[in-house]
Amino acid sequence: MENAAVFAILSRSEREVQGFALAWAAAGDAELLTVAVVPEARRRGVGAALVTSAGVAALVRGAASMHLEVAEDNAAGRALYAKLGYEEAGRRAAYYAGEGGSVDAIVMRRTLPRPLV
């Protein structure tokens, strides 16, 4: 990658890709840009593992916190992020275009755990 601050996490089973996460880290903060999991691998912990791994990778790169945006109507995504310790930190009105109109983005943030050693 050209920008060392941007990184990707890949999940695969044998030879098949199950999902990926893209994020960046700079100046003590990180943003989870996207997480995608193939339909066959959903609800099996792949998304949680990707988000957790992205947090660890951000921590290694010096980030103290990580934030993300999730569509207000993405109940599964919001539940996953909340389960992983992300809390609502703001809202971007009409951020996503949807079939029935626009949807707000919920900004979620969490402090990344510091190592004990």
pLDDT in tens, the chain (117 residues): 445 699 999 999 888 999 999 999 999 999 999 999 999 989 899 999 999 999 999 999 999 999 999 999 999 999 999 999 999 999 999 999 978 899 999 999 999 987 755
Give pLDDT, residue 7: 97
> Is residue 69 flagged as an active site residue?
yes
Give pLDDT, residue 13: 87
Q: Given the residues 2, 31, 72, 81, select the one marked as catalytic.
A: 81
**pTM confidence score:** 0.89
Question: Where are the domains positioned within the chain?
Answer: 6-111
Give pLDDT, residue 117: 56
> Is residue 81 flagged as an active site residue?
yes
Angle between helices 46-60 and 75-83 (to 10 degrees): 50
Residue range 6-111 in CATH 3.30.428.10: no
Give pLDDT, residue 62: 93
What distances in angstroms separate CA 1 from CA 4, 48, 52, 59, 105, one per listed residue? 7, 24, 21, 19, 28
Checking 46-50 for CB contacts under 8 A at 24+ apart, the result is 46/11, 46/18, 46/19, 47/19, 47/80, 48/80, 48/83, 48/84, 49/11, 50/9, 50/11, 50/19, 50/20, 50/21
Q: Given the residues 69, 72, 95, 96, select the one marked as catalytic.
A: 69
